[in-house]
Amino acid sequence: MEWTLFHAIIMAIAIPVAVVLFARAISYKVKLMQKAAPIPDPIADHKTRIRDFFTIFLGQQKLFQERLPGLMHAIIFWGFCILLTRAITLFGMGFAGFDFHLPFLGFHQPLGKMYSLVKDIVNVLVAAMVIYALWRRYIKKVPRLLNTPGALFVLLMILGLMISDMIFDGTLHASRNTAFNAWSPVGSFLGSIMSGENGVLSSGAIFLGHISYFFHCLGILVFLVYLPMGKHMHIVTSVFNVYLRPLNRNGRLTQLDLEDETIESFGVSRIEEYSWKDFLDLYTCTECGRCNDVCPAKRTEKELAPRELTIHQKHFLLDDEAERILAGDTSKEPSKALVPDVVKPEEIWACTTCQSCEQACPVNIGYVQRINALRRSEVLNHSRFPSELKRAFKGMETNNNPWGIGASTRLDWAKDLKLPVWGENGTPEYLLFLGCAAAFDDRAQRIAKALVNFLLKRNISFGVIGVDEPCCGETARRLGEEALGQMLMETNVELFNELGVKKILTPCPHCFNTFKNEYPDFKGNYEVIHHSQLIAEILKTSSTVENIDSPMQAVLHDSCYLGRINGEFDAPRTVVSIATGREVLEPLESREKGFCCGAGGGLFWLEESGKRINHERFNQLVQTGSDTIVTSCPYCLIMLSDAAKDLENQTVAVKDIVELL
């Protein structure tokens, strides 16, 4: 099998055509990104980003959250990286003849031998993984996968590339009469088969060799041109998406500028008001559906499915709006309204902001902020939101709590307690910020009582603000009422700073998260401690063992805002294991994968239709065989207690960690 000028001519035409088409498609998308809004934070902390590059991108870390499919993808990806060298060699052969090789990689050189062996193994492994992927899609029919023609095309294409490389390598070996060679097991083996007993290649085999060569090289170029058109764009963009992910944005919404009188639209009402990083997110989505699998809304058959939200926004951007945006004509109206035409109101009001989708996404696509931006626009620009929220908003505005119960009754639950009020006896160490739930909900008030009793018994120096304790503002912000949220936050910062607060202790992960992650944006810098953390510390160093409760089998429900979003998994577990003297049971989905109770993102204040998220979670927790569900958040406590009532389960108790002591 000989190289001819024909090879060179074909390659000389095909490569520039493919590269130009590819470059044009990419530059179109980059230009579109340039028309988008800026990102809120500078791209700093390259150390973390480089670590992400190695772990999340090269290491495929997040894909391994599902072991076998993760391994499948990783092998194809690593194989792709390794075979890049092979592809360059093959293109080189097109111009310089079939003996061409990259420096040090000649077949008779030591490195070349090793590379040849690795390449053969990789070809076989990748082909096997593609067959596994095809099996998952078309025989096992994994529900989350969308079997689009594009997905099938790409898989068959990869399979074709592997096979064609093997055949070409085989014919090349045969035409050089090389016997079986351990450094090229696949190539030399195939070669020996094709050349038959007499060791001469038939003209048919030679033709097959050439076909394979062209299929492989042109296939790569077709693939290159196809990439920017479909979901496989992630092959190009994922490295950027991983590297450029917003850092320090867990549980921290962007701060809207409400002071600037020239701004007349808030949040995102037109797609180009998203940042360029949001655009990159849309480009990068591979439609794998891992987000859908973990989304509490999707899992309970609500309108929201994070993947579909992303796909709809992507198609709207690229198919309907790109021309208008690129033309830069701001006077021209969008072809459709982002809400309610592209994204339905039911979708944006179904997000619990639990961030499990972001945890699951292998390429760090953001969802919560993208949905919140739509809520902001709906509330602030159009005053469109589910009617039951008005009561919660008015309650926060007038009575400092979403329940709307008179602010003057905030401490009524503590009538029988000696509650130290801040400033009555000097400046205490901790400001005990109980939060609205623990102050106004009958069930959650028991957390407040148990916590205050614990602190008093342990002589912890603390004080409460009293009836003037405001709402932390978290709920308002999560619901898109940024103006109300900011007003509450600014009031708090002023009050806390006036009182000289340094440390805030709270039993509510929502208050905890917003004080810790969002208040610094409003000049409120405090050390924020969740009650599980303080109690765990005290119990660990305590010489007296706490009165061990009845032999309960406790299962721990992770609060999203304490666990997944703020990384505190151990403190509640420490408290439970010391308090019960037993190992803590873990539900099917726990720690980073903990399933939401359904209350987050302000959804506590919305009517839920259809299947209930709290019922789903309750059943999952009960399946462990536990008799006590332990929570570390008043909202989780209320939601799971309600689930127990709704499902008429009287055998399982629901308690906050502090109620175990």
Partner 1 sequence: MNIAVILKQVPDTEANVAADPTHPGKIVEDTLKFILNPYDEYAVEEALVIAEKSGGEVIGVCIGSDRAEWAIRTAMAMGIHRAVFITDPEAVESDIITQAKILASIIKTLDVSLILCGRSWIDLQEDALAPALGHFLNIAHVSNAGKIDVDCLKATVIRELDGGTLEVRVTLPAVISCSKELNEPRYPTLIAIKRSKNKEIKRVTLSDLGMTPGTPRSFVTDLQTPSSRGKGKIVTGDPADMVKEAVQWLSDEAKII
What are the C-alpha distances in Å from 614 to residues 381, 441, 608, 624, 653? Answer: 32, 17, 10, 16, 15
Stretch that binds partner 1, among 148-156, 258-266, 281-289, 559-567 (CB under 8 A): 258-266
Q: Which is nearer to partner 1, 397 or 537 (CB)?
A: 397
Q: How far is the CB of 646 from partner 1 (least distance, A)?
A: 26
CA 205 from chain centre, in angstroms, equals 49
Q: How far is the CB of 295 from partner 1 (least distance, A)?
A: 28
**Contact mark string toward partner 1, 286..315, x via CB under 8 A:** ------------------------------
Which residue in 426, 447, 427, 425 sits closest to 436, CA to CA?
Answer: 447
- Decide if residue 388 touches partner 1 (CB under 8 A): no
Helices (H), 270-420: 276-284, 290-294, 296-299, 306-315, 322-327, 345-348, 356-360, 368-376, 388-399
- Decide if residue 387 touches partner 1 (CB under 8 A): yes
Q: How far is the CB of 259 from partner 1 (least distance, A)?
A: 10
Q: Which is nearer to partner 1, 68 or 258 (CB)?
A: 258
Q: Which is nearer to partner 1, 191 or 395 (CB)?
A: 395
Amino acid at 105: L
Stretch that binds partner 1, among 53-61, 378-386, 565-573, 621-629 (CB under 8 A): 378-386
Q: How far is the CB of 481 from partner 1 (least distance, A)?
A: 9
Q: Which is nearer to partner 1, 376 or 573 (CB)?
A: 376
Which of 219, 246, 345, 404 contacts partner 1 by CB under 8 A?
404
Q: How far is the CB of 380 from partner 1 (least distance, A)?
A: 4
User: What does DSSP assign to residue 585?
Assistant: B
Which of 483, 493, 511, 584 contacts partner 1 by CB under 8 A?
483
Please write down the HEC assignment for all residues of 84-149.
Answer: HHHHHHHHHHHHHCCCCCCCCCCCCCHHHHHHHHHHHHHHHHHHHHHHHHHHHHHCCCCCCCCCCH
Q: In the sheet where 653-656 sits, what is the strand order?
A: 554-556, 628-631, 653-656
Q: Which is nearer to partner 1, 485 or 507 (CB)?
A: 485
Residues 191/181, Cβ–Cβ less than 8 Å: no
Q: How far is the CB of 489 from partner 1 (least distance, A)?
A: 16
Cis peptide before 520 (omega within 30 of 0): no
- Decide if residue 381 touches partner 1 (CB under 8 A): yes
Token pair recorded at residue 3: 């190289």
C-alpha to C-alpha distance for 89 and 599, rounded to whole angstroms: 57
Which of 116, 188, 284, 399 contacts partner 1 by CB under 8 A?
399
Q: Which is nearer to partner 1, 355 or 400 (CB)?
A: 400
Q: Among positive and negative, which fits the CA dihedral 602, 607, 612, 614?
A: positive
Q: Which is nearer to partner 1, 483 or 622 (CB)?
A: 483
Question: What 3-state class would DSSP assign to 515?
Answer: helix
Helix (H) or strand (E) holding 173: helix 149-175
Q: Which is nearer to partner 1, 268 or 658 (CB)?
A: 268
C-alpha to C-alpha distance for 476 and 393, rounded to whole angstroms: 7
Stretch that binds partner 1, among 58-66, 151-159, 373-381, 446-454 (CB under 8 A): 373-381
- Decide if residue 398 touches partner 1 (CB under 8 A): yes
Token pair recorded at residue 230: 């479909």
C-alpha to C-alpha distance for 185 and 472, rounded to whole angstroms: 67
- Decide if residue 266 touches partner 1 (CB under 8 A): yes
Q: How far is the CB of 399 from partner 1 (least distance, A)?
A: 5
- Decide if residue 407 touches partner 1 (CB under 8 A): yes
Total chain residues near partner 1 (CB under 8 A): 23
Stretch that binds partner 1, among 16-24, 84-92, 245-253, 392-400 (CB under 8 A): 392-400
Q: How far is the CB of 524 from partner 1 (least distance, A)?
A: 22
What are the C-alpha distances in Å from 544 to residues 302, 538, 540, 658? Answer: 49, 10, 10, 17
Which of 383, 459, 541, 543 contacts partner 1 by CB under 8 A?
383
- Decide if residue 380 touches partner 1 (CB under 8 A): yes
Query: What is the b/e burial string over 206-232, where b = at least 16 CB atoms within 10 angstroms of the residue's CB?
Result: bebbbebbbbbbbbbbebbbbbbebbb
- CA dihedral in degrees (557, 310, 271, 372; nearest 10)? -10
Which of 197, 264, 442, 498 contacts partner 1 by CB under 8 A?
264
Q: How far is the CB of 641 from partner 1 (least distance, A)?
A: 23
Q: Which is nearer to partner 1, 323 or 388 (CB)?
A: 388
- Decide if residue 255 touches partner 1 (CB under 8 A): no
Long-range contacts formed by 319-326: CB under 8 A, 24+ apart: 321/271, 321/272, 322/28, 322/32, 325/32, 325/35, 325/271, 325/272, 326/31, 326/32, 326/35
Stretch that binds partner 1, among 188-196, 319-327, 390-398, 528-536 (CB under 8 A): 390-398
Residues 554/628, Cβ–Cβ less than 8 Å: yes
Q: Report CA Rg, the chain.
A: 30
Q: How far is the CB of 437 from partner 1 (least distance, A)?
A: 17
Q: How far is the CB of 473 from partner 1 (least distance, A)?
A: 15
Secondary-structure percent of the chain, ordered helix, strand, coil, rounded to 5: 60, 5, 35
Q: How far is the CB of 619 from partner 1 (least distance, A)?
A: 34
Which residue in 242, 253, 280 sits closest to 361, CA to CA?
Answer: 242
- Decide if residue 393 touches partner 1 (CB under 8 A): yes
Q: How far is the CB of 159 from partner 1 (least distance, A)?
A: 55
Query: What is the b/e burial string over 164-180, where b = at least 16 CB atoms within 10 angstroms of the residue's CB?
Result: bbbbbbbbbbbbeebee
- Decide if residue 385 touches partner 1 (CB under 8 A): yes
Any idea how long the chain is?
661
Which of 46, 336, 390, 523 contacts partner 1 by CB under 8 A?
390
Q: How far is the CB of 484 from partner 1 (least distance, A)?
A: 10
Q: Which is nearer to partner 1, 261 or 607 (CB)?
A: 261
Q: How far is the CB of 381 from partner 1 (least distance, A)?
A: 6
- Decide if residue 417 touches partner 1 (CB under 8 A): no
Q: How far is the CB of 550 from partner 1 (least distance, A)?
A: 25
- Decide if residue 406 touches partner 1 (CB under 8 A): yes
Stretch that binds partner 1, among 102-110, 260-268, 518-526, 642-650 (CB under 8 A): 260-268
C-alpha to C-alpha distance for 442 and 437, rounded to whole angstroms: 9
Beta bridge partners of 426: 423, 424
User: Residue 186 burial (CB < 10 Å; 0-12/13-18/19+)?
Assistant: buried
Which residue in 255, 283, 249 sits closest to 267, CA to CA?
Answer: 255
Sites of contact with partner 1 (CB under 8 A): 258, 261, 264, 266, 379-383, 385, 387, 390, 393, 398-399, 404-409, 482-483
